[in-house]
Homo-oligomer: A and B are copies of this chain.
């Protein structure tokens, strides 16, 4: 049994599949990679119990003397060897007892494998009760906008997932870790909008999927069955166990009315938040203050030596309108004040404090060049969304109570 494959395609497939290999496993065979030789293709697959990834490498007909056969090999050794190979073609062979032969250039490798029957079953991507096909670019963009907000802690397992709903011709993804909340949606083309579906998909699985979808032109077929969801695109398949339970009714969190609203450039806001967070200490507490832009450079300079340096006047000279002031302070290290000119504002000036890292995550995930921030009170979640007529995403961030 023998197959000749280009080193580049083998390496690409390996680098995708190896991400599903568990770093440590009580069962050695689980930290292996499953290889399945067929006449027309070689299939690599791996699984860590939650996530499984499978890659097909088509074999040119005629050049390969492959009958069917399979084995499990030590995944990281296999990936490391293929990564270092300098020959353009790699010859893979299978011999008894469960040994993989690799030949490339002047090198000849034998990797001790294991019985493929001990390897866990892979979820099939065959017929299923629910099937949807989406453009890769859309799927990737929705994941990127939402999945970051899922919880990283296992205290509430359901919050480590992304709540995906498909109903009424719209696909909605929602995630929250109970401090921040992200929701993104997209209208589906009418021919794709049949049937309804709801599931909580582990955010880790979706983030891996977004990595796999580098062909933005392609499409991904989605099938769900037996508590699993399977995404198939080109020669790659990603399977993921769904999370059980009913997702909390987070839609109720979205405030219906706001006391104030500002629109600012997304990049200046993100960069200022990142800088201010540097001095915000461990709690990352950043204070935001809406205030009228007044004062000028001269008055500020004269006062810069005063005790707190934050004297309530703008340092953006000559501007009139509203500014956002971001403040933070780290004991014994220093403090910072950043000012951002507001493009548009409504409502009463206010002060609110929040986690600067979380706000930066939201701004990084958001699409568009400007962001609309809406405030209810200093204790209610602030809302952020792209400043477009029909924003496709909404973000909420719970404030931090402070003395200021």
Report A's interface with B, CB cutoff 8 A: 74, 77, 80-81, 84-86, 93, 95-96, 99-101, 103, 106-112, 268, 271-272, 274-276, 278-279, 304-305, 309, 315-316, 330, 332-341
Give 15 A-B contacts (CB < 8 Å), ordered by A residue: A77-B279, A77-B334, A80-B278, A81-B275, A81-B336, A84-B275, A93-B304, A101-B309, A106-B340, A106-B341, A107-B336, A108-B304, A108-B336, A110-B309, A111-B333
Give every chain B residue within 8 A of A338 (Cβ-Cβ): 106-108
A334 close to B271 (CB less than 8 A): no
- From A336, which residue of chain B is reached at the shortest CB distance? B109
CB-CB under 8 A from A332, the residues of chain B are 112
CA distance A330 to B80 in the complex (A): 14
Count the copies. 2
Say yes or no: B334 contacts A111, CB within 8 Å.
yes
Minimum CB–CB distance from A100 to chain B (whole Å) comes to: 8
Which of B85, B109, B334, B335 is the one whose CB lies under 8 Å from A279? B109
Is there contact, CB below 8 Å, between A336 and B110? yes
Closest-by-CB residue of B relative to A87 is: B271
Taking a contact as CB atoms under 8 Å apart, the answer to whether B106 and A316 are in contact is yes
A-B interface, 8 closest residue pairs, ranked by CB to CB distance from nearest: A106-B339, A111-B334, A107-B338, A84-B275, A109-B336, A108-B337, A110-B334, A86-B271
- The answer on a CB contact under 8 Å between B271 and A84 is yes
Cross-chain contact of A112 among B95, B108, B309, B334 (Cβ < 8 A) = B334
A107 CB contacts on chain B under 8 angstroms: 272, 275-276, 336-339
- Contact call B274/A84, Cβ cutoff below 8 A: yes
CB distance from A300 to the nearest CB of B (A): 8
Nearest chain-B residue to A339 (Cβ)? B106
Assuming the A-B contacts A84-B271, A111-B333, A111-B334, are A106 and B315 also in contact, with contact meaning beta carbons closer than 8 angstroms in the complex?
A: yes
CA distance A338 to B305 in the complex (A): 70
Cα of A337 to Cα of B101 in the assembled complex, Å = 11
* 14 more CB-based (< 8 A) A-B contacts, given A106-B315, A108-B336: A77-B279, A77-B330, A77-B333, A81-B278, A81-B279, A81-B336, A84-B275, A106-B316, A107-B272, A107-B337, A108-B304, A108-B338, A109-B335, A111-B333
Complexed CA–CA distance, A335 and B278 (Å) = 50
- Point out the residues of chain B lying under 8 angstroms from A340, CB to CB: 106
A10 CB to closest chain B CB (Å) equals 15
Closest-by-CB residue of B relative to A95 is: B305
With a CB–CB cut-off of 8 A, which chain B residues contact A268? 86
Contact of A333 among B74, B101, B304, B315 (CB under 8 A): B74
List, in ascending order, chain B residues with CB within 8 A of A333's CB. Answer: 74, 77, 111-112
What's the least CB distance linking A337 to chain B, in Å?
A: 5
A278 and B315 in contact (CB under 8 A), knowing A86-B271, A332-B112, A337-B108? no
A365 to B88, CA, bound (A): 26
List residues of chain B with CB within 8 A of the CB of A84: 271, 274-275, 278
